Amino acid sequence: MGSKNFAVGCDMGATKIISCVVDSDGKVGYECRFPTEAARGTKKVGENLISAIKETLSNCKDKNISGIGIGTPGQINFETGEVLGSAPNIPGWTGVNVKELIASEFDYPCVVDNDVNAAIWGEFLYGAGKGCKDIVGITLGTGIGGAVIVDGKLYRGSKFCGGELGHISLKYDGIPCRCGGIGCFEEYCSSRGIKRMAISKLKSKKRSLLVSMVEGDLKKITSELVTQAYHKGDEIAKAVIRETGRLTGYALSIIINILNPEKIIIGGGIATIGDFLFNAIRDGAKERSLPVPYSQVSIVPAKLGVMAGAIGAGSLILKGAQ
Amino acid sequence: MGSKNFAVGCDMGATKIISCVVDSDGKVGYECRFPTEAARGTKKVGENLISAIKETLSNCKDKNISGIGIGTPGQINFETGEVLGSAPNIPGWTGVNVKELIASEFDYPCVVDNDVNAAIWGEFLYGAGKGCKDIVGITLGTGIGGAVIVDGKLYRGSKFCGGELGHISLKYDGIPCRCGGIGCFEEYCSSRGIKRMAISKLKSKKRSLLVSMVEGDLKKITSELVTQAYHKGDEIAKAVIRETGRLTGYALSIIINILNPEKIIIGGGIATIGDFLFNAIRDGAKERSLPVPYSQVSIVPAKLGVMAGAIGAGSLILKGAQ
């Protein structure tokens, strides 16, 4: 039993860093959470990451640790560990070399990858993607992340920037996105898209539980409140979620026509709304995909929950840094 | 010298079948062209294909022929040779097993692939994609075709339906496409997109060479006439081509954000317009792509011209049916 391999896996989120020890069956041992404190600057973020890893290592001294895997927002040079760009949730993170940061503190091999790549790697090995070869992962939350596995390998693109599925443009003359593009999927179907759509719908029809939930101040609407109102049967909230699902399906139809995946796995906070959302997503995807590739794909919820990223990051060490 | 290998390569187009013999350096020997005669039914199309191959074989009896490679429109099951769907240029072609058709007449190994896959395979081996690993090919013509090479292999998707780049939706509430989708790239930037855009622009501003070219009957406008008018300096034609290029660039930005290719190779009749079109395409792609993956891609014209498909189809036999 002493021969079992373990790794530390860290998932860096906008608000918290999840660190854990994971074994080669994907089982999580010790885990801890540290705040990211992105607003306090990248030095502090780095310190928090190191603290999380130290705490994890000090709690698994009896284990044979093979290395440290880290999933972080942004486009990551998987070979060097450098953050190449686009990590709006951690300002200043672009240009940081996470691998060097870890090497300066720890004497373990380290791999660094995009956080959604790490999460889908976890789902591929132990979750909703188990047994598949060609899958796409989407996270619906504050932002929309994406990752692609082709023939059992993470697809990183020619220079590590593939899979930016949140920035598929749904409408070339649509809403400007903070990435500089126009009409991006993320602007329509992330938390801020849901908020925007709810406010827009409420402007024309004021009778909704949502209005009383925010005491008439529509600016206070959040995607969480929309979800709560939906669960209480509110019609406007229901319409917002249906429309969000349908638009998500439209974005997936683009992915289906290009990549012809066997499975699309959807995680993130918004995905927890459940069947009503997933059915709307499937309807949208069916409506807009080419019939043959649509008939070959299943669109399913992620299985590993909030631990997917940390499990996947650790598993990049244990199960091939592919 | 007698040890050199050769293959027959056929490219099935909407109007003609190009058949040739190609060697393992991509050099074309004998070539011939037969009409497709799609309107006369799939039996006739099959007969024409067989005639083209017979004619080619009878003209290279001295050569060591390794097999027959065929590129055909549609989504093709590369393993069985069956046309799975979506070949509007050859009505009824869906369901036909091209490999069995060839096997019934010839005693050579045969591979069948999508026509754009074949063409990009040719460009990858001997043309604009030589030396690259991750490329995307687009053909701008009557329709818009696409193909993807990942890590030096043709990406066919989990079930052979990947790379349908013409059916990327540019605008979810845009123009209905004959595929059943809405706002497809093909509806905006193929020959019919150019025609539609030219007519629309002429309705608001009638002073254009195009009007006299069609003697006032705008329905007679074609993308070829728009190209001719552009070369003669017509401002409306120039605006149509610039806009077509920009919209093509928008579609490419979706591909760039998802696939992060090192090169995008554009062929097809419309691509022969040249630099003015390509600069507009690059402007559109730059405007809408994420900066890092945009900085890593070059957008270039195809090099092999009309022979790309036949060369690539033959090369699927000679250089790995990947």
As given in the structure block, the two tokens for residue A43 are 């030095």
pLDDT at B112: 97
Residue of B78, B160, B290, B322 to mutate, testing the A interface (most A Cβ within 10 Å of its Cβ): B290
**Which element (helix H / strand E) includes B159?**
none
Segment A105-121 shows an average pLDDT of 96
Q: Order of strands across the sheet with A153-155?
A: A153-155, A144-150, A135-140, A263-267, A298-301
pLDDT beneath 70: ranges in chain B: 1-3, 86-87, 321-322
Return the residue matching tokens 């900085």. Answer: B295
Do B257 and A167 count as a contact with CB atoms less than 8 A apart? Answer: yes
Whether A84 maps to a domain, the answer reads yes
Distance from CA of B146 to the nearest CA of A (A): 9
Nearest to A230 by CA among A245, A215, A252: A245
Nearest to B90 by CA among B36, B51, B138, B33: B36
Distance CA A119, CA B78 (A): 32
Give the list of residues 6+ apart from residue A61 with CB closer than 8 angstroms, or none.
Answer: none
Same domain for A286 and A168? yes
pLDDT at A39: 92
Domain with B152, as residue range(s), is 128-302
Chain A segment 212-241 residues within 8 A of B by beta carbon are none
Same domain for B67 and B205? no
pLDDT at A1: 41
Distance CA B141, CA A249 (A): 28
Chain A segment 110-149 residues within 8 A of B by beta carbon are 133-134, 146, 148
pLDDT at B161: 81
The pLDDT tens digits for A268-316 are: 999 999 999 999 999 999 999 999 899 999 999 999 999 999 999 999 9
Segment A71-95 shows an average pLDDT of 89
Same domain for A93 and A187? no
pLDDT at A3: 61
From the list A150, A181, A289, which residue is nearest B288 (CB)? Answer: A181
Nearest to B321 by CA among B104, B4, B94, B9: B9
The pLDDT tens digits for B223-251 are: 999 999 999 999 999 999 999 999 999 99
Whether B107 maps to a domain, the answer reads yes
pLDDT at B137: 97
Residue A321 has pLDDT above 90, yes or no: no
From the list A167, A171, A260, which residue is nearest B157 (CB)? Answer: A260
From the list B160, B168, B257, which residue is nearest A257 (CB)? Answer: B168
State whether residue A170 is helix, strand or coil.
Answer: coil
Chain B segment 240-279 residues within 8 A of A by beta carbon are 247, 250, 253-255, 257-262
Distance CA B182, CA B188 (A): 11
Handedness of CA A283, A287, A288, A294 (dihedral sign): positive
Do B158 and A182 count as a contact with CB atoms less than 8 A apart? Answer: no
Return the residue matching tokens 């669109």. Answer: A299
Whether A97 maps to a domain, the answer reads yes
Do A292 and B86 count as a contact with CB atoms less than 8 A apart? Answer: yes
* pLDDT confidence band for A190 (50 / 70 / 90): very high
pLDDT at B14: 84
Distance CA B251, CA A169 (A): 9
Whether B122 maps to a domain, the answer reads no
Strands (E), chain B: 6-12, 16-23, 28-35, 65-72, 75-76, 83-85, 110-114, 135-140, 144-150, 153-154, 263-267, 298-301
Give the list of residues 6+ apart from residue A206 with CB closer than 8 angstroms, or none.
Answer: none
From the list B250, B253, B296, which residue is nearest A161 (CB)? Answer: B296
Residue A89 has pLDDT above 90, yes or no: no
Residues of A in contact with B259 (CB under 8 A): 155, 157, 162, 258
Whether B95 maps to a domain, the answer reads yes
Strands (E), A193-268: 263-267
Chain B segment 167-196 residues within 8 A of A by beta carbon are 167-174, 179-183
**Which element (helix H / strand E) includes A305?**
none
Same domain for A74 and A172? no
Using a pLDDT cut of 90, give the percent of chain A over it. 85
The pLDDT tens digits for A240-273 are: 999 999 999 999 999 999 999 999 999 999 999 9
Do B258 and A148 count as a contact with CB atoms less than 8 A apart? Answer: yes
Do A161 and B290 count as a contact with CB atoms less than 8 A apart? Answer: yes
pLDDT at B186: 95
Same domain for B140 and B49? no
Distance from CA of B142 to the nearest CA of A (A): 18
Residue A150 has pLDDT above 50, yes or no: yes
Residues of B in contact with A95 (CB under 8 A): none
Same domain for A111 and A144? no
Handedness of CA A184, A240, A251, B190 (dihedral sign): negative
Asked whether the beta carbons of B89 and B38 are under 8 A apart, the reply is: yes
Instruction: Concatenate the DSSP letters of all residues of B223-289 into one string.
Output: HHHHHHHHHTT-HHHHHHHHHHHHHHHHHHHHHHHHH--SEEEEESGGGGG-HHHHHHHHHHHHHHS
Same domain for A39 and A107? yes
Q: Looking at chain B, which residue has its C-alpha nearest residue A251?
A: B169
In this prediction the ipTM stands at 0.89
Q: Residue A151 pairs with which residues in a beta bridge?
A: none
Whether A1 maps to a domain, the answer reads no
Residue A85 has pLDDT above 90, yes or no: no
Same domain for A263 and A172? yes
From the list A158, A172, A260, which residue is nearest B260 (CB)? Answer: A158
Q: Looking at chain A, which residue has its C-alpha nearest residue B289?
A: A181
The pLDDT tens digits for A197-238 are: 999 999 887 789 999 999 999 999 999 999 999 999 999 999
| CATH code, domain with B11 | 3.30.420.40
Put simply, whether A158 touches B (Cβ < 8 Å) is yes
pLDDT at B4: 77
Do B172 and A171 count as a contact with CB atoms less than 8 A apart? Answer: yes
DSSP assigned state of A44: H
Q: Looking at chain B, which residue has its C-alpha nearest residue A177?
A: B288
Same domain for A57 and A95? yes
Same domain for B220 and B90? no
Please list, residue by residue across B42-72, b when 16 or more beta carbons sit within 10 angstroms of its beta carbon and e when fewer do: beebbbbbbbbbeebbebeeebebbbbbbbb
Number of domains in chain B: 2
Whether A277 maps to a domain, the answer reads yes
**Which element (helix H / strand E) includes B75?**
strand B75-76
Distance from CA of A137 to the nearest CA of B (A): 12
pLDDT at B1: 41
From the list B157, B173, B179, which residue is nearest A259 (CB)? Answer: B157
Distance from CA of B298 to the nearest CA of A (A): 12
Residues of A in contact with B172 (CB under 8 A): 170-171, 247, 250, 288
Same domain for B294 and B165? yes
pLDDT at B56: 97
Same domain for B257 and B310? no
Whether B120 maps to a domain, the answer reads no
